[in-house]
């Protein structure tokens, strides 16, 4: 509903991923948006203007002048017409031009004239994407207030594997929807998100941990920020997975440290989403020096319970009316069904919503995609279909936002 009636310019540049722009245009039109396609000359060699014109129900423009009818495509008027502009795919060349104010074609001239928000969805080969000049151009475009839609990771058209893939059309649509959604719903709300694994030290070099990467929690933080919320991300042991400006990242490597960080920030939060994989136990003793192999049988590991941070929040809410979301990573029952465990955990934890994921066999942990169920205390059960973690994050916020006071 957020995209209905919105005027969107879809810029398409010369990348093999240009075929995906047809799907993006279709999704936007289906959502009720008015779409104007503007292509670079190179883009027309990858996908025909006829395809994009048919899907968008408007001529796909690529030149300043339509020579056959002598019609002038006014870049200033196009820039003023749009509520939003997205360039997908955006090649390294177009990013470089836009970052430096060059405008030798209609698309880059419209970009320079546009008064609306602009998003870039880059697509290129791994090494081009990683090149310091491309990264600097992306930083510059961000600094100018543009949105950069995360690239995907995987097999690239070159045959290499890595970062640089155009985000999936459904993900791009979701980012644009989030853009419009934030105005009525999440602006100014404060949210607290936990992400990633804790590590419970055995000695200075060893720990008890788990396979969580933190990607789902970081995606929740990014989407919340896109929607205009003020975000605190309490991160366990994760890499820096890219928080947008304004996300306050607090490192908390152990369950005890995470409990303190959550307690510190939760009093101000309208919603708390506990995506972290917190260790349930920690060693009773942490050796000051590295434990040596020795000749004797190893001593049994003595463990003690960690605080249950989520249960603590529910039992003693730091802020009335706060929405609390838990996660449950489950291997399922004998049939692999995770729902019975999820329902039991929701009842036990008493939170408002619980996201249930299947784990094991390469699912959920250490991957970029996810799927699961969203269970509500009031009995609702919605499937979260397989998709990127950003997409799942959007669906989770779609459920949380209407519950915010």
Residues with active-site annotation = 210
Choosing from 61, 278, 346, 399, the residue that interacts with ligand CTP (CB under 6 A) is: 278
User: Least separation, in Å, of the C-beta of 229 and ligand CTP?
Assistant: 19
For the bound state, the minimum distance from the C-beta of residue 25 to ligand CTP, rounded and expressed in Å, comes to 38
3-state DSSP of the chain: CCCCCCEEEEEECCCHHHHHHHHHHHHHHHCCCEEEEEECCHHHHCCCHHHHHHHHCCCCECCCEECCCCEECCHHHHHHHCCEEEEEEECHHHHHHHHHCCCCCHHHHHHHHCCCCEEEEECCCHHHHHCHHHHHHHHHHHHCCCEECCCEEEECCCCCEEEEECCCHHHHHHHHHHHHHCCCCCCCCEEEEEECECCEECCCCCEECCCCCCHHHHHHHHHHHHCCCEEEEEECCCCCCCCCCCCEEEECCCHHHHHHHHHHHHCCCCEEEECCECCCEEECCCCCCCCCCCCCCCCCCCEEECCCHHHHHHHCCCCCCCEEEEEEEECCCCCCCCHHHHHHHHHHHCCCEEEEEECECCECCCCCEEEEEEEECCCCEEEEEEEEHHHHHHHHHHHHHHHCC
As measured in angstroms, the least distance from the Cβ of 176 to ligand CTP is 29
Q: Which stretch binds ligand CTP (CB under 6 A): 11-19, 94-102, 244-252, 326-334?
A: 326-334
Please report whether residue 310 would count as binding ligand CTP according to CB under 6 A: yes
- Other CB atoms within a 10 A radius of the CB of residue 282 amount to 21
Q: Which stretch binds ligand CTP (CB under 6 A): 122-130, 146-154, 290-298, 302-310?
A: 302-310
Residue 327 interacts with ligand CTP (CB under 6 A): yes or no: yes
Q: Is residue 276 involved in binding ligand CTP (CB under 6 A)?
A: yes
Residue numbers 193-212 binding ligand CTP by CB under 6 A? 194
Per CB under 6 A, does 280 bind ligand CTP? yes
Site for ligand CTP in 139-158 (CB under 6 A): none
- Kindly tell me which residue out of 223, 328, 353, 375 binds ligand CTP, with binding defined by CB under 6 A: 328
Quote the least distance from Cβ 238 to ligand CTP, whole Å.
14
Question: 53 or 314: whose CB is closer to ligand CTP?
Answer: 314
Q: Do 6 and 177 touch, CB atoms closer than 8 A?
A: no
Residue 220 is a binding residue for ligand CTP (CB under 6 A):
no
- Among the residue ranges 47-55, 140-148, 306-314, 315-323, the one whose residues contact ligand CTP (CB under 6 A): 306-314
How near is the Cβ of 302 to ligand CTP at its closest, in Å? 18
Per-residue tokens: 349: 């934890």
Cis peptide before 40 (omega within 30 of 0): no
Query: Nearer to ligand CTP by C-beta: 18 or 192?
Result: 192
Choices 120-128, 156-164, 301-309, 390-398; region in contact with ligand CTP by CB under 6 A: 301-309
**Residue with tokens 């699912």, as numbered in its chain:** 363
Among residues 83, 248, 308, 382, which is the contact residue for ligand CTP, using CB under 6 A? 308
Residue 33 contacts ligand CTP per CB under 6 A? no
Residue with smaller CB distance to ligand CTP, 248 or 308: 308
Q: Note whether 306 binds ligand CTP by CB under 6 A.
A: yes
Cα 201 to Cα 18, 73, 245, 284, 285, distances in angstroms: 48, 64, 32, 10, 9
Considering the complex, what minimum distance in angstroms separates the CB of residue 106 from ligand CTP?
A: 49
Strand partners, 353: 325, 376
Q: Is 255 in the site for ligand CTP (CB under 6 A)?
A: yes
Torsion of CA 186, 192, 195, 201, to 10 degrees: 170
Q: Examine residue 46 and tell whether it contacts ligand CTP (CB under 6 A).
A: no
Among residues 329, 364, 392, 393, which is the contact residue for ligand CTP, using CB under 6 A?
329
Least distance to ligand CTP, CB of residue 203, Å: 22
Q: Is 214 in the site for ligand CTP (CB under 6 A)?
A: no
**What is the total count of residues that contact ligand CTP (CB under 6 A)?**
14
Exactly one of 147, 196, 326, 387 binds ligand CTP (CB under 6 A); which one? 326
Q: At what angle do helices 169-181 and 19-30 cross, to 10 degrees?
A: 40
User: Min. distance of Cβ 193 from ligand CTP in angstroms?
Assistant: 10
Binding site for ligand CTP (CB under 6 A): 194, 255, 274, 276, 278, 280, 306, 308-310, 326-329
């Amino acid at each position: 509903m957020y995209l209905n009636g919105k005027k969107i310019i879809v810029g398409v540049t010369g990348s093999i991923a240009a075929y995906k722009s047809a799907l993006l245009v279709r999704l936007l039109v289906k959502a009720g948006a008015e779409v104007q396609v503007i292509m670079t000359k190179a883009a027309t060699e990858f996908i025909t203007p006829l395809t994009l014109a048919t899907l968008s129900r408007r001529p796909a423009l690529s030149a300043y002048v339509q020579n056959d009818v002598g019609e002038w495509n006014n870049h200033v008027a196009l820039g003023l017409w749009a509520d939003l502009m997205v360039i997908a795919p955006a090649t390294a060349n177009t990013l470089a031009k836009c970052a430096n104010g060059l405008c030798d074609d209609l698309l880059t001239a419209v970009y320079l004239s546009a008064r609306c928000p602009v998003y870039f969805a880059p697509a290129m080969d791994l090494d081009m994407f990683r090149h310091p000049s491309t990264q600097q151009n992306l930083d510059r475009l961000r600094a100018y207030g543009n949105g950069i839609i995360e690239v995907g990771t995987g097999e690239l058209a070159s045959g290499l594997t890595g970062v640089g893939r155009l985000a999936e059309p459904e993900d791009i649509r979701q980012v644009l929807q989030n853009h419009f959604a934030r105005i009525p719903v999440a602006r100014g709300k404060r949210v607290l998100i936990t992400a990633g694994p804790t590590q419970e030290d055995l000695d200075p070099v060893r720990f008890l941990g788990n396979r969580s990467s933190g990607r789902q929690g970081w995606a929740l933080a990014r989407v919340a920020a896109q929607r205009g919320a003020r975000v605190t991300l309490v991160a366990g042991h994760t890499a820096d997975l890219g928080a947008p400006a304004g996300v306050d990242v607090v490192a908390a490597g152990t369950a005890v440290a995470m409990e303190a960080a959550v307690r510190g920030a939760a009093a101000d939060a309208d919603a708390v989403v506990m995506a972290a994989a917190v260790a349930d136990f920690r060693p009773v003793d942490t050796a000051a020096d590295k434990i040596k192999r020795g000749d004797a049988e190893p001593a049994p590991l003595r463990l003690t319970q960690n605080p249950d941070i989520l249960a603590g929040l529910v039992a003693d809410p730091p802020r009335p009316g706060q929405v609390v979301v838990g996660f449950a990573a489950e291997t399922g029952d004998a049939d692999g069904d995770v729902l019975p465990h999820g329902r039991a955990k929701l009842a036990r934890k008493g939170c408002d919503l619980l996201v249930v994921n299947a784990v094991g066999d390469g699912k959920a942990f250490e991957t970029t995609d996810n799927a699961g169920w969203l269970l509500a205390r009031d009995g609702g059960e919605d499937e979260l279909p397989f998709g990127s973690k950003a997409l799942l994050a959007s669906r989770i916020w779609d459920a949380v936002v209407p519950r915010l006071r």
